[in-house]
A and B are shown apart, each in its own frame.
Chain A
Amino acid sequence: MNLTLYVWRQAGPKEKGRLVQYEARDISPDMSFLEMLDVVNEDLIRRGEEPIAFDSDCREGICGACGQAVNGTPHGPRKLTTTCQLHMRNYQDGDTIYIEPFRALAFPVVKDLVIDRGSLDRIIQSGGYISVHTGGVADGNAILIPKSDADTAMDAAECIGCGACVAACPNGSAMLFTAAKVTHLASLPQGKIEAGRRVCMMTEEMLRQGFGNCGNHYECESACPKGIRVRFIAKLNREFLKTRST
């Protein structure tokens, strides 16, 4: 199939960007979206033009490196699917596709579709862990965890840190990202001791990094390639309120 692409090109963080039109020719339906861009890039290089910069690494939907807004939707039209796992069979010959970086105040553009998501790392740095040193811990089975709690923790822990939730949110909020980590750890007995401090530190850091607040749009859940649920934001709020009520 042949497609018309409009791709965001921006030379650097301080440069002005714009949408540039490209033709993608002879695209196979078995290609992934990023393989389609590989083909376009190979073509650009051969023609002596600068290829489109975009992040990707594992190309199997787990590392969280890739992420582009495809026709305005982070990771594109298919639910629960990262850009690297989106396949061209979802498109038809003659389609026009707009490809842009994930946009948010806290995600400055580095180049073209590449963004800086260091702000998400800094939220984790502020407390998204259990403060345990290596060594001197109890036997794994000394801590019993009800299956339902372990399952909830795992549901939340599946977040890949891609930032689609932020890009989808009209407020550029990282509430879903932060809530996922808070829920993962607060659902487990090991994580309860620091739960109050954790939620305060992480939400403060979230604001400091320039993320907005939750406005209950639920766009984040809809865009999340891993199905992280907005009810975790309720959990985040509850954990936060608990620290105020005592």
Chain B
Amino acid sequence: MTLDPKIPSGPLQEKWDRRKQELKLVAPANKRKYRVIVVGTGLAGASAAATLGELGYTVDAFCFQDSPRRGHSIAAQGGINAAKNYPNDGDSIWRLFQDTIKGGDFRSREANVYRLAQVSANIIDQAVAQGVPFARDYAGYLDNRSFGGAQVSRTFYARGQTGQQLLLGAYGSLMRQVRLGSVLLHPRTEMLDLVVVDGHARGITVRDLVTGKVASFAGDAVCLATGGYTNVFYLSTNAIGSNVTAAFRAFKKGAFFANPCFTQIHPTCIPVTGDHQSKLTLMSESLRNDGRVWVPKDRDDKREPGSIPESDRDYYLERKYPAYGNLAPRDIASRAAKEVCDEGRGVGPGRRGVYLDFRNAIERLGESTIRERYGNLFEMYERITDENAYRRPMRIYPAPHYSMGGLWVDYNLMSTVPGLFALGEANFSDHGANRLGASALMQGLADGYFIIPYTLADYLARVAPGAVRADHQEFRQSREAAAAYTEKLLQVKGKRTASDFHRELGRLMWENVGMARSKESLTSALKRIPELRAEFWENVKVPGTGEQLNQQLEKAGRVADFLEFSELMTRDALLREESCGGHFRIEHQTPDHEAKRDDANFAHIAAWEYQGEGKEPALHKEPLTFENVELAVRNYK
């Protein structure tokens, strides 16, 4: 099978306009006859469901949380990029495009990224119209800040809660459609299977998390906006419930999974304190605007940070990357932190931490300015660590944060299963091998507000509405299989809890498939994962029954999928014999330890096809061509 990304012809700047002209439309009176299923209500899902509802489609929106307002987009802190050039500092659509392609280490599609930069400005306008309270200056204009990987200020923000405010904006629009009857909401409902009839996505099978009832919903198209998979590492900045299940089960039904090894390790998180820990908390990257990252020059320096004079500090990001300094992109800043800790110069308990110091900024700007910019982050830091970051530098360390990989989609956001679309973090499309800060919110909302409403119509216009109902045989089989799977989990009746397995898998993945990967570590993980998975199916203990609210059962199902998905991710990392962005193979580095790409052999998207249980997945390659930017070595020095 050849993967056709369906990129429009013509110059880069005209591709999206050209595509919009080519796309078919659905007449207003016919829209309500089409039922669209949207899974996930974070930024991508909520914006898509609301917009499709506004357009007149009949929408079913699903989320596993008790309310659609709780999707994990809500936790995004720092901001959202847009090529508005309000500060007049030289920004443009072209520059945002270029920064994103370069930031992604030349492993994303030019056409997708350009479109993202084009619609970025519309997102800000839309959010302002919804009443999102972005930061303003004293004249009432929108304020901007700068972010990692960029030399312009293009990031819009709402204190340290930009994701929350944007999500509440989309949630408001979604609730309006619920009120108007175009969207039917299904909270506390988890997708367990994608139903494919005659090669087309026709619906989903779900479990009602309160009653345990397994049911199916038929639709004319299915949009997955189910987020990322970095909880495969157990400890990550994701929410406890974030999981790969919906995407992975779609993979098992024929949707290709692209670049699963591309995961982002965020440089500024609160370090791990102990085995009990259930998650890692991110401190917004925006802190790097005013905070300076350092460790002691001498590994045996035991002094309190405040007593270490300037001459004994190593501001290693400023030293190594003078052009970008503390604003070096995430993958580079993370690896640099790991490097100094590997040298034994880490700080804090366990010595896996570096300082993020605000002393100079407080001296320069005053404590009240810093409080205004980051007050809530400093409070959060204090609650978790019991330390006052106005007085003592924060301790930070990298943590798994975002997955650039995801379901393969073409330019129209459609997967390899016709009628199945993937949006936001759930797809792989725009960030290449590394995502720049403040670009996740931008992509989620671009997909949901401004892309899917156009491209979905083109698909729907080609199919008859309501062709398949949920009493179709495929749906019945899907329900039976989902119920049997649940029963199988309950019947193992072993000794170890699902969390226990998850913790072990996470440690295995972090050590072997984390920030630095080698042939040896990946091969050993590929050997160990199937063993752990076999043990899981012999020894997991899931209490209770399937006919009730059973959080352990939910957890076990998600862990079971991580135990399979992790193998796919590791295999992808093993086959990609190069370093690029967040994927760092220690065999492939430059003499000064930077990622060394191999464009001759790996300038492609690796898309994996499921071949059945126990069989190795098949690899398909979509070549990446760069006609508008020059493939260059990333240089942030």
Binding site for B on A (CB under 8 A): 11-12, 28, 30-32, 34-35, 38-39, 42, 44-46, 48-51, 53, 55-65, 78, 80-81, 85, 87, 89, 110-111, 114, 116-118, 120-121, 124-135, 137-141, 143-147, 150-151, 153-154, 157-158, 160-161, 184-185, 188, 190-191
Which residue of B75, B158, B276, B281 contacts A31 across the interface (Cβ within 8 Å)?
Answer: B276
Whose C-beta in chain A lies nearest to the C-beta of B279? A59
- The segment from B173-181, B359-367, B479-487, B582-590 that touches chain A is B173-181
| Distance in Å: Cβ of A71 to nearest Cβ of chain B | 19
Task: Give complex CA distance A130, B178 in Å.
Answer: 14
Residues of B within 8 A of A (CB): 47, 50-51, 54, 65-70, 72, 74-75, 84, 86, 122, 124-131, 133-142, 156, 158-159, 161, 164-165, 168, 171-173, 175-176, 178-179, 185, 187, 210, 239-241, 273-274, 276-279, 281-282, 379-380, 383-384, 386, 449-450, 453, 495, 497, 499-500, 541, 543-544, 548-549, 551-552
Jot down 13 A-B pairs with beta carbons below 8 A, ordered by A: A34-B278, A42-B497, A53-B551, A59-B281, A85-B383, A120-B67, A121-B67, A129-B131, A132-B130, A145-B136, A150-B134, A190-B128, A190-B130
B139: which of A12, A60, A116, A144 is its contact (CB, 8 Å)?
A144
**Residues in A whose Cβ lies below 8 Å from that of B84:** 140
Residues of A within 8 A of B551 (CB): 51, 53
Q: Which residues of B contact A42 (CB under 8 A)?
A: 497, 499-500
CA distance A44 to B543 in the complex (A): 10
Partner of A45, one of B51, B66, B552: B552
> A87-B384, A131-B176, A140-B124 are known contacts. Are A57 and B240 too (CB-CB below 8 A)?
yes
The distance in angstroms between the C-alpha atoms of A127 and B131, with both chains bound, is 13
Complex Cα gap A80–B551 (Å): 28
B140 touches A117 (CB 8 A): no
Q: When the two chains form their complex, are residues A125 and B125 in contact, meaning their CB atoms are under 8 A apart?
A: no
Q: Are A64 and B70 in contact (CB under 8 A)?
A: yes
Query: Separation in Å of the A51 CB from the closest CB of chain B?
Result: 6
Check if A35 sits within 8 Å of B276, measured CB to CB.
yes
A133 B74 Cβ-Cβ under 8 A: no
A55-B66, A59-B279 as given contacts; A111 in contact with B548, CB under 8 Å: yes
In Å, the complex CA distance between A60 and B130 comes to 26
When distances are taken between beta carbons in the complex, the residues of chain B under 8 Å from A141 are: 86, 141-142
**Residues of B with C-beta under 8 A to A57:** 65, 70, 72, 239-241
Task: Tell whether, in the assembled complex, residue A134 and residue B51 are in contact, meaning their CB atoms are under 8 Å apart.
Answer: yes
A58 interface neighbour in B74, B185, B277, Cβ under 8 Å: B74
Min CB distance, B369 to chain A, in Å?
A: 14
A153 touches B173 (CB 8 A): no
Cross-chain contact B54 with A188 (CB below 8 angstroms): no
The answer to whether A32 touches B278 (Cβ under 8 A) is yes
Expressed in whole angstroms, the Cα–Cα distance for A80 and B51 within the complex equals: 35
Chain A residues, Cβ within 8 Å of B173: 129, 132, 134
Given A51-B543, A140-B124, A140-B142, A132 and B66 contact (CB-CB distance below 8 Å) = no
Q: Are A188 and B67 in contact (CB under 8 A)?
A: no
B141 and A144 contacting across the interface, CB-CB below 8 Å: yes
Contact of B179 (CB < 8 Å), options: A62, A78, A126, A137 = A126
Q: How far is the CA of A58 from the CA of B281 in the complex (A)?
A: 9
- CA A28 – CA B137 in complex, angstroms? 44
In the complex with contacts A61-B380, A137-B125, A157-B168 CB distance below 8 A? yes
* CB <8 Å contact, A59 and B172: no
Distance to closest chain A CB from B227 (angstroms): 11
Which residues of A are found within 8 Å of B130, using beta-carbon distances? 129-130, 132, 190
Are A60 and B380 in contact, CB atoms less than 8 angstroms apart? yes
What is the chain B residue whose CB lies nearest that of A154? B133
**A161-B69 in contact (CB<8A):** yes
Which residues of chain A are near B74, meaning CB under 8 Å?
Answer: 58, 62-63
Chain A residue nearest to B385 (CB atoms) is A30
- Contact present for B179 and A143 (CB under 8 Å): no
